[in-house]
Structure 1
Amino acid sequence: MNNSKKTNIKFVPIFAMLLLILNQILTYSVTPPNSGGQPMRYLLYWLMFLISSIGTNLIVLYLGFTSRQTKNSIKKLSKIYFYLICIGLFGVIFSVVAFKSFASQDLWLLLFPISHNDFPLASSILLWYVFGSLISKYIHKLSQTTMNSILLFIPWLFIFMPFLFGKQLWSIDSGNSFVWVGILFLLGILFGEENILSKIRSKSKIITLVIILLALPLLLKISPLSVPAANLHSRLYSNYSLPMFFISIIIFSLFISFKTIKYSKHKIIKSLPINWLFLSAYFFTQLPTIAYRLSNDLHLKYKISSVKWLLQILIIFLSVVITVFILTFIIEKLSHLAKINKTINNLSISYSDLNRTPYLIKEIFINNWRSLFVILIGLFLTYIQILSVYILTESPFKMSFLKDVITTSSQQILLSTIIFYLFFVLIFGIFNRYWYALIFSTGVFVIISVAEVLKISLRDEPILPADLSMITAMNELLKMVNPIVIIVALIFIIILFVSSILLEKRFNNIYNRSNWKKRVTFILIPLIVFSGSFFINHNNSLPKIVFKAFGVQPLFYDQTGGARVNGPVIQFINNIDTKIMNKPAGYSKKNIEKIMKKYDNSAKNINKTRKSSLSNQTIIFTLSESFSDPNRVPNLKVSPNPIPYLTKLKKQTSSGLMLSSGYGGGTANMEWQSLTGLSLSNLSPTLPTPYTQLVPSQKISPAFTDLFDSKIAIHPFNASLYNRINVFKKFGFNKFYYDGSKYKLTYKKRIGSSPYISDESAYKNTLKIINQKHSGSRFIQLSTMQNHMPFTDYYPNAKSFKISGSAFSKDSKSSIETYSQGLNYTDKSLKKFITKINKIHKPVTIVWYGDHLASLYNKDSMSKYGIPLHETDYFIYNNQTKKITHSNKVVSPYSFSALALKADNIKVSPYYALITNVTEDLPAMTIDPTSSQSNSLNGSNIFVSENGKKIKSSSLTKKQKQLLHDYRLIQYDLTAGKQYSAHWAQQKIK
């Protein structure tokens, strides 16, 4: 006989909910204390954890106990799913609003809840709950003796025997196990039928419970725990162990035994869906996004006082409890709204429907085949697009490509399919014809695929928004394409057009056309979604958060690689939101002409004291990959000094520190600044990589190379990254030596097992070019690769440097040792290089600099040490004058051209008169290095003094502010404006 109506059993879900929430917080947000270091906190933590772990046991016992009262439990599956959707969406919204991120998995599990096993307990309970009333009815018919026998048999076989033998006899390895849930569910049914728990006196239960609870601390001392809570599997402590089973049964029986508590009859309290509270709490705390936040953003610090520790646990606990109560109340109210309630009822199934499962699946397919067909076509087209890029960029073809596309780009394929589907919906809203919309959408995506293949084949670059401006030059574009391709494309378009007409006529009557309200909705929703493309690179914007959730990597430094990983459509969208630069006040042709005239005069004044010209001069810009003195890194000591020669050389020549705009990356941005004289910090945050996002769209790209007769670039690596081949061509380089180019690198030696060509070989290649006969001025851009990440144990004697300090983690120590050895090799190679340069009987000037620090110092706070973690070494050396024009000067890369001309006492052109003024009269400007733990965004412009301190722009003098404004106007004109000053910036020195 079931006496649940006369007991406090209805409060079990609330109590179980509270225990579950506490258990999840202790699992995710708290690191288990050590029994030796914090004995009292250790006992308190594990006592709370073990007791709270029985919350899941109690709810299963409760469901079994009340199963006879639960009518048509299978019909509640649709409402359970409604709860999951609501709570899942709340989790996504919470993560987006509070933490500016979520994962596509958070949406996927709403459609396929059991696909990732995120809700193991719910999955185990489901079948027992659905068929609980049937099982309960069957057990009810059994005799008293049979039920008593089962009550003895189940605990003995499934609980006592595994405890005695210490083996998992029935594959019960967690409290979520289907077998364990079944045991508790059946016991709950039997407890509801028999009054066995009620027959035991409450006093005896309480005494037994107290004894077990007092024994737990003793057990914890005798057999201490040292595993993470999530990995706890023990016959003493797991919630499926004998002690925890006893505690669960005793507490459950106490709810049955005590007299009914009269609770408030207030309308809100009465309307609170008690039975749904545990479900809400379970779904909420098990959501991957919530579990992640509890584990990371809300994780308690280990070294805090016990009082503060308990207080923080209590605060998180109460916050989650309140959230669950509010969520449950709101969801329950929503479920009673007419339309939602009708949908829930329509989706509900009965036991009789199980016999009709094949027919139901068929009916679902028939009702939704058109949408499914669109999705399948979208998946297929996106897969083919990405595979095509793979084949073009990863030759020769391998069968593994077919699998690689799915394994590396599954999320991006899904996102592209969503974009395809929305595009179809938009076209369908316009035409109100299914086949017209489908064929048109398919045609557009096929054309994109073909255009992508052609563009990559011709330019080694995917389709970008800048290419749309070339539509006006369609005749010239078509001349570049094989006529056969054009003919095939035209035939394909005709076939699509005819097919759409025939299909529309043939299947015209198999679907209902939409009314005007639906059509407006079909048009508006995709347009609203697609408008997000214009904010895709805005920091913390919703479109950027969504793209990040689907694993989209913009890869602006490697656009073709981006198309290979993300697909052509997504990579195109990545490049839509690229505002180049904010327009400075007063931008006009008239004002630009005034500035040009102003610095025409400035050039004349500077040149009065300059005696030399560029004729027969050789200037080398040497970018040394990841080079920076590690002993300048805060909280780090490397001994002996790995770069003794450079340390000495910097004292003998013009030298100082360069402000890098990157940390661990951004090489091309330093190149761009040094070659153009423009500052990255003036650009928009949506344009992080000028080489791929800016230079291709510029009609004219003024650069330092414009001043020279001969321009040569050397990069001892492949040139696929950063669009260097096309950029250097636009900058006027005559030759580009790289690994795989038609201009062969003579020296390609590597050190140890390093995959990168050594700096010694890079310098030898440079010397070979310097010694070649030539007339006139010459510029060489050398970008080395030896010290590029990762810093694996490449070198045979990397352990010769001792690393100490608190700037790095244990995992980084070996990498820093390898890195330091690499610097030492560079230092020795540099000494040989300078020695050879000194023997050359013609003027050679070297501007040598490190592009950024290696990202190895993960224990140093960027907010505290941002500036020193972005300072690299540089020097300017001339083999004939050896004159020191400055020392210990802090500069940015855009100043190197002006500093090189000054070091050689070379006259300047008007544009470089402007750069000279900016270099000499303004503090060095850069991106704010303290605004991010890695690479900061453009636009966060700061100034840095000679002693490495930030300077506010408001502290600049009136003259400095005017100079800065002139500089920004010219930069805007050259990059985002009308280019009134482009030819002026390109003119040679007179």
Structure 2
Amino acid sequence: MTVATSVIIGIVFFHRFSAKDLWLMFVPISHADFPFAASMLIWYSLGPILAQGLAHISQAARHTLAFLLTWFTLIIPFIFAKSVWGISDANNIVWVGVLYVFGILIANGEYKWITRRWAVSTIVIGLGVAAIILRFSSITATPNLLSGRFFSIHSLNVALISFAIFGVLIQISRISFFNLNKAHWPNWFAMIAYFVSCLPIVTSFLNESFFIKENLSSLEWLLLIVIYLVVFIVLVTCLTAIFAIISRFKIFKRLIDDFPIKKFSDFTQLPQLFQKKIRDNWRILLVICNGVLFTFVQMFISSLATTSFSIEIVKNIFKTSSGPILLSTIIFTCFFWLLYSLINRFWPALLFTIGVSIFITVAEFLKISLRDEPILPADLSMVTALSEIAKMISPVIIVAASLLIIILVTASLILQKHLGGMYPQYAWKKRGLIIVLMLIFFTGGFWVNHENSLPYIVFKAFNVSSWFYDQTTGAKMNGPILQFINNLDVKIMDRPAGYSRVKIQSIMAKYDCQAKVINRKRTNSLSNQTIIFVLSESFSNPNRIPEMKVTPNPIPYLSNLEKTTDSGLMLSSGYGGGTANMEWQALTGLSISNLSPTLPTPYTQLVHQQKTAPAFTNLFDSKIAIHPFNASLYNRKQVFKKFGFNRFYYEGSKYKISYKKRLGTSPYVSDDSAYKQTMKIVNQAQSGSQFIQLSTMQNHMPYTNYYKNGKKFKITGSAFDSANASSVQTYTQGIYYTDRALKEFILELDKLDRPVTVVWYGDHLASLYKSNLMNKYPIQLHETDYFIYNNKNHKLSYTNRLVSPYSFSALALDNANSKITPYYALITKVTEDLPAMTTNPSTSQINAVNGGNVFVGQNSKLIKYKALTKKQKVLYHDYQLIQYDIVAGKQYSTKWAEQKIK
């Protein structure tokens, strides 16, 4: 019960606990957190035998034993400052046994002096004075020889003070007022004090957060010790009172009375007791075993959907997914209890639960095999199209599923008929209570991504990772059920004030007029133009990293190019990851910072459930995406299809990638090859407008000394640990090759007659730098390079301009001097008149959870919302309303946002 309390304390006060605490709840002494308890249990069991043996030896023999124990366990270790018999701490099983022998000897008349007041007073006063002297003054040049042994656990003074305290307790126990011989509370108090002090949540908190400052005065030191002691005593006293009250309840009294081991001889009956427990609880054990089995099978089958069989799959499941397996088993068991309570029939409830698990397993395998994506809550809408889905599935699978249903129904009826009397049927009150509890349990799935909520804490305790950026891997690691639940709690975006059809229509009318105003100054259309978005994986200028210097400049061409064309810094919403989020913002013109914290990855959580998903691609006749890697990450295949891309070139696609050269030993296609593939597609354009989305891979992590014969750079500073020095060198070499490839790419573009506008940007910084650097420079570590280049006009309107990726569409149209639609008039106004928006960089060090919206000025300083002008606030509200309407509202504006340039 103490361990159960630790779980409650952890949840309420620290918003965390560990799944292993649940195991400790049932077998607390099985873990190293309670070594003294384990030793105590062993010697408590052996105690009667020891007491009986010592009672039968002569008094002289007991005197001799007391003399030898005192010398070998107390005096000799004190003299030589070295313990004997491997006794290194108070938890040692040998030491606990010695203490038991001391107690038995005292009970048989040895060490009578401990009950004499003069002896106790002398010990307490003498040792107290000695301790204070040692605290105030170092009286020896070698304190390890005196104070060290004076305060060690095997020292003579500690033994004496322990004897004195024990003697005082003996005297108190004889006073009728306390009546300790019959009271149970001292036992409760001592046991709870020990367990509370050893609880993992308590020791972890003390180690992480509770330190006594250095250079305290002696008075402050003593005062803190007293305060901590009082707090601890009050806590233990309260818990003792609570447990004493609880122990009077019938259910707990029955548990205590039914505990099978009450004396040492009961240990000989353990095998029989174990067998009896299994016989009495075989039904629930059968349910649990099925839960473990089907959870494992689901994870295994999910892996087989994308990879061939390997024993490593099995190893990895048990190595990395033990927590999710346990939690999935609990969910399986709770689902069974819900059904059992509803129908009050064991076998039908169990077999129906098994049938649901089999259905989930097969459906998961088919979904991943066909679409590289697990079952998600949005798929439930497909229930209305079962006939269409059935046409896509092999008839063999449909026949097999039908046979399985028949087998399960038949088996449940047979088992119910012949074995129905082997289990109890509960009264309606108990069933009703279980139903309510199970329903409450399952509704928690709608809160798993609300930080510090109980379901959120439980998921973290069982090491369930969100894996929003790779749903398929999430299904493999967490199992399909937990990954499905992870996606239940997704609030797309808070509803802005004033949202309505009328309001959206008024905003559309406003920017219809704004588009006409802007278009009066622009002369070009997109006809026969190409716009290319180049997302350069993990690219950033290392010389802008605070506390770091790289010589010579690894990116000389880019540095010069940025001085002659529109360029600046882009605010990334990720660090070390989050590529798809920059893609999504660039392609949609929407800011991820406006979305809910429970929706960190729009590609996998949002786009598939949008009825219409407006994107920059709507403006073009030909839309091509290139990603020289597999397309399993971020659900790109389905997203790009939704965005209207005509072709998607990736490894394994039906559109073959012609250039696949890799540099050194790198596993990734080089940027030079990616640019050549892009040029090949640009040259294929005959007429009409063309858009190309290129996402490179060359500089993707890890950075493992790929370029052994490459150019070496001198990298100095304290921004990275020495362990990362080689990785930083490899990364720097990689962007050097990117710079060279970029130069050739621009030269090739300049040869074209066709107007081409390139938006080139790094998506995020590589996660190579010290974590404390993020605390000092959160915005700087979220800034990457970008430029916008046109091969015909070489426009230079600005340099060092700070923007967010949602602005790239408006900036590209401006650079190309192209007319715009009303939707992009809104994006243009947001870009020109509002500070750049991003997720709070101090809470988005990795792309896990949105950190909330912040504004950043051109000086890279945060700007508070209240500092915006009235016009800026109106513009921001317009932008929020349109974004909400598109991603979470009624989509009144989607056709308006999708219209082409007239």
TM-score, normalising length from structure 2? 0.91
Q: Do the aligned partners of 1:682 and 1:939 also contact (CA within 8 Å) in 2?
A: no
Partner residue in 2 for 1:374: 287
TM-aligned CA deviation for residue 622 of structure 1: 1.1
**Displacement of 1:740:** 3.1
For residues 865 and 268 of structure 1, what CA distance do their matches in structure 2 show? 64
Change (3 A) 1:758 1:548: same
8 A contact 1:212–1:247 mirrored in 2: no
Q: Report matched runs for 1:480-495 at 5 Å.
A: 480-495=392-407
Q: Which residue of 2 aligns with 1:77?
A: none
Deviates more, 1:929-938 or 1:186-195: 929-938
- AA aligned opposite 1:378: G
Deviations 1:880-922 (A, max 9, x none): 2111133222211111000000001011122212211221222
Change (3 A) 1:338 1:507: closer
Return the offset for 1:259: 10
CA contact (8 A) 1:378 1:421 kept: yes
258-267 vs 732-741, greater mean Cα deviation: 258-267
Q: Which amino acid aligns with 2:545?
A: V
- State the match for 1:692 in structure 2: 604
Distance in 2 between residues matched to 1:621 and 1:297, nearest whole Å? 47
Give 3-state SS (helix, strand or coil) of 1:655's partner: strand
Q: For 1:673 and 1:303, how far apart are their aligned partners in 2? A: 53
What is the aligned counterpart of 2:435 among 506, 523, 539? 523
Partner of 2:30: 115
2:321 counterpart SS class: helix
After superposition, give the CA deviation of every residue in 1:717-753 in whole Å (9 maximum; x if it has no partner). 2221111111112212222222333333333333444
Specify the SS of the correspondent of 2:30: coil
Give the distance between the partners of 1:220 and 1:719, measured in 2 at CA: 71
Match of 2:301 in 1: 388
SS of 1:347's equivalent? coil
How far the C-alpha of 1:637 sits from its partner, in A, is 3.8
Is 1:252 matched with 2:165? no
The residue aligned with 1:756 is 668
Of residues 686-695 and 738-747 in structure 1, the stretch that sits farther from structure 2 once superposed is: 738-747
- 1:49-64 matched pairs, under 5 angstroms: none
Alpha-carbon distance in structure 1 between the residues aligned to 2:760 and 2:571: 14
Task: Kindly indicate whether residue 769 of structure 2 is the aligned counterpart of residue 854 of structure 1.
Answer: no
1:537 and 1:748, CA in 2 relative to 1: closer, same or farther beyond 3 A? Answer: same
Matched residues in 2 for 1:223 and 1:522: separation? 63
Q: 1:946 aligns to what? A: 858
For residue 770 of structure 1, the aligned residue among 682, 686, 701 is 682
- Residue of structure 1 in register with 2:742 after alignment: 830
1:144 alignment counterpart: 59
Compared CA separation, residues 364 and 608, structure 1 to 2 (3 A): same
Q: Residues 303 and 949 of structure 1: is their aligned pair in 2 closer, same or farther, counting only changes over 3 Å?
A: farther
In structure 1, the residue matched to 2:348 is 436
**TM-aligned CA deviation for residue 778 of structure 1:** 1.6
Give the Cα–Cα distance (whole angstroms) in 1 for the partners of residues 77 and 686 of structure 2.
88
Residue 811 of structure 1: how far off its partner (Å):
4.2
Unaligned runs of at least 5 residues, structure 2: none
Alignment check: 8 A CA contact 1:863 1:931 kept? no
Deviations 1:529-556 (A, max 9, x none): 1111111111221111101110101101
The structure-2 alpha-carbon separation of the partners of 1:220 and 1:520, relative to structure 1 and needing over 3 Å to count, comes to farther
Q: Distance in 2 between matches of 1:792 and 1:316?
A: 49
Task: Say which of 272, 276, 290 aligns to 1:363.
Answer: 276
Relative to 1, partners in 2 of residues 1:372 and 1:220: Cα closer, same or farther, differing over 3 Å? Answer: farther
Q: 1:476 to 1:266 in 2, by over 3 A?
A: farther
CA contact (8 A) 1:618 1:843 kept: yes
Where in structure 2 are the equivalents of 1:371-520 lying within 5 Å? 371-393=284-306, 395-520=307-432
Q: Distance in 1 between matches of 2:141 and 2:555?
A: 54
3-state SS of paired residue (2:841):
coil
Q: Which of 439, 456, 459 is equivalent to 1:544?
A: 456
2:538 matches 1:626 = yes
- 1:182 is aligned to 2:94: no
Kindly indicate whether the alpha-carbon contact (under 8 Å) linking 1:688 and 1:937 is maintained by their aligned counterparts in 2.
yes
Cα distance in 2 for partners of 1:622, 1:775 equals 22
1:844 pairs with 2:756:
yes
Name 1:553's counterpart in structure 2: 465
Of 351-360 and 688-697, more deviation after overlay is shown by 351-360
Kindly tell me: are residues 365 and 823 of structure 1, through their superposed partners in 2, closer, same or farther at Cα, counting changes over 3 Å?
Answer: same
How far has the Cα of 1:283 moved from its partner?
1.2
1:472, distance to aligned residue in structure 2 (A): 0.7
Give secondary structure in 1 for the equivalent of 2:786.
strand
Residue 840 of structure 2 corresponds to which residue in structure 1? 928
| Contact kept in structure 1, 2:593 and 2:850, CA below 8 Å | yes
Q: Provide the rounded CA distance (Å) in 2 between the counterparts of 1:854 and 1:220.
A: 54
Aligned residue for 1:872, secondary structure, equals strand
Query: 1: distance between equivalents of 2:222 and 2:740?
Result: 57
3-state SS in 2 of match to 1:780:
strand
> CA RMSD of the aligned region, Å?
3.3
- Which SS does the other structure have where 1:325 is aligned? helix
1:803 matches 2:803 = no
Task: Report 1:76-91 matches (<5 A).
Answer: 85=1, 87-91=2-6
Q: What's the CA shift for 1:172?
A: 4.4
Is 1:613 matched up with 2:525?
A: yes
Secondary structure, in 3 states, of the residue corresponding to 1:131? helix
SS at match of 1:296: helix
Distance of 2:166 and 2:11 partners within structure 1: 43
Distance in 2, matches of 1:247 and 1:411, equals: 47
* 8 A Cα contact 1:664 1:853, kept in partner: yes
User: Following TM superposition, by how much is the alpha carbon of 1:308 offset from its aligned partner in structure 2, in angstroms?
Assistant: 7.3
Residue type of the partner of 1:100? H
Residue pair 2:537, 2:698 contacting (<8 A) in 1 also: yes
Q: Alpha carbons of 1:743 and 1:220: their partners in 2 closer, same or farther (altered >3 Å)?
A: farther
Q: Distance in 1 between matches of 2:294 and 2:139?
A: 62
Which letter maps to 2:15? K
- Which range moved further: 276-285 or 896-905? 276-285
Secondary structure of the corresponding residue to residue 127 of structure 1 = helix
Residue 571 (structure 2) pairs with residue 659 (structure 1): yes
Return closer, same or farther for 1:431/1:825 CA change in 2, 3 Å cut-off: same
- Aligned twin of 1:320: 232
What displacement does 1:338 show?
4.7
Measured after TM superposition, the shift of residue 756 of structure 1 is 2.9
Q: TM-score, normalised by structure 1?
A: 0.84
Checking the alignment, whether the CA contact within 8 Å between 1:927 and 1:936 is kept in structure 2 is no
AA aligned opposite 2:817: N
Q: Report deviation, 1:412.
A: 0.6
Deviations 1:156-196 (A, max 9, x none): 66778899999998554544232232123223322332434
Q: Does 1:600 align with 2:491?
A: no
Distance in 1, Cα, partners of 2:177 & 2:771: 54
Per-residue deviation, 1:260:
7.9
Gaps of at least 5 residues in structure 1 are 1-84, 226-233
1:919 aligned to 2:831?
yes
Q: 1:361, 1:959 → 2: CA distance?
A: 75
Q: What is aligned with 2:255?
A: 343
